[in-house]
A and B are shown apart, each in its own frame.
With several copies, the nearest count.
Chain A
Amino acid sequence: MQWGISKTIVVEVSASQRFPGRYESLTKIAEFIRCACAQAGFDSCTTYSVETAVDEACSNIIEHAYGGEDIGEICCTCHLEEDRLVIILQDNGKPFKPEKFRIPKDTIPLKKYKRKKKQGLGLYFIYKIMDEVSFATSPSEGNTLTLVKYKSSPPPQA
């Protein structure tokens, strides 16, 4: 894989930034993501959809992993690859075990579940918008959520 270098601008293939784990950070994270999407050449609709997915993921980190604002940080890293943008969100909160949840697939999860609590739509948005979604937890690096968006439609075997 080769990276094109224009005459004056070296394309940054990777960028990382840490944000305080508070709702205020969401618009700043969106800006960061918007830049990465621009570098990936995404159109404004795709860019907005990726912003939405990341916003949902970060809201979940603040709300569920940390259980509140200003408990910990969110580290956001973007890798620009030839055919995709990879976004990695890291936190040090409570590990998320997606196996414990009904991961929404194609149907909109609008039904109530478990004693009147309403199923959230956040995970549904994330899975629906991004081409690949994976959660991982390790003692050293905390929780890692990897989100992938392809530059064109995902390859059939992916």
Chain B
Amino acid sequence: MNITQKQFKRCDLISVEGRIDSATAPQLAEALEAITAAGRYKIILDCCNVSFISSAGLRVLVNTQKNCKRYNRGELVLAQIPENIRSTLDLVGFTELFKIFNDTLSAVGYF
């Protein structure tokens, strides 16, 4: 897994490449915690180059979402999720938990 980040005025974009699974989820959790620890709770996860998300990966996203939404201070949104991943998230009922944008531009423009 490869993580790149970009900070904008009102939100942070975090782009992940590869698998988000039990092996890599802690690394993603760390990157997300660094953002929220800085008092920034509007986060976009760019999934364009994500090849796989396991339940362990999703667990990290759910925890981050809870943290971000607390006190109405922000939100974690997903952008550019590959169709197969999106359809599986749909199947397991997790798309309700995250706003999903087709492109990162709309996601940045949302905040």
On whether A and B touch (CB less than 8 Å), the answer reads: yes
Alpha-carbon distance between A49 and B83 when the two chains are bound, in angstroms: 11
- Supposing A110-B62, A118-B59 touch, asked if A45 and B83 sit within 8 A by C-beta, the answer is yes
How many residues from B make CB contacts under 8 Å with A? 21
Q: C-beta contact mask, B46-63 vs A, less than 8 Å → 1, else 0? A: 000000111110110010
Q: Tell me the nearest residue of chain B to A53, going by C-beta.
A: B88
User: Chain B nearest CB: distance from A62 CB in Å?
Assistant: 9
Cα(A45)–Cα(B89), bound, Å: 10
**Residues of B in contact with A (beta carbons under 8 Å apart):** 19, 21-23, 52-56, 58-59, 62, 83-85, 87-88, 91-94
Kindly state the separation between the CA atoms of A59 and B55 in the bound complex, as whole angstroms: 10
- A110–B58 Cα gap in the complex (Å)? 11
Once A44-B84, A45-B84, A59-B22 are accepted as A-B contacts, the answer to whether A108 and B94 lie under 8 Å apart by CB is yes
Query: Cβ of B21 and Cβ of A124 under 8 Å apart?
Result: no
Residues of chain A within 8 A (CB-CB) of B59 are 118, 120-121
Tell me whether A125 is interfacial, beta carbon within 8 Å.
Answer: yes
Since A23-B23, A121-B58 are in contact, a sample of 18 more A-B pairs with Cβ atoms closer than 8 Å, ordered by chain A residue number, is A23-B22, A30-B52, A44-B84, A45-B84, A47-B84, A48-B84, A48-B85, A48-B88, A49-B87, A52-B53, A52-B54, A52-B88, A55-B54, A59-B22, A59-B56, A110-B62, A121-B59, A129-B91
Chain A, residues 110-140, CB within 8 Å of chain B (1/0): the string is 1000000010111011001100000000000
Which chain B positions have C-beta within 8 A of A44?
83-84
Interface readout for A51-63 with B: 1 if CB under 8 Å, 0 if not? Answer: 1100110010001
Q: Does A26 sit within 8 A of B, measured CB to CB?
A: yes
Query: What is the CB-to-nearest-CB distance from A109 to chain B, in angstroms, rounded to a whole number?
Result: 10
- Cα–Cα, bound, A122→B21 (Å): 11
CB contact between B93 and one of A45, A122, A128 (< 8 Å): that residue: A128
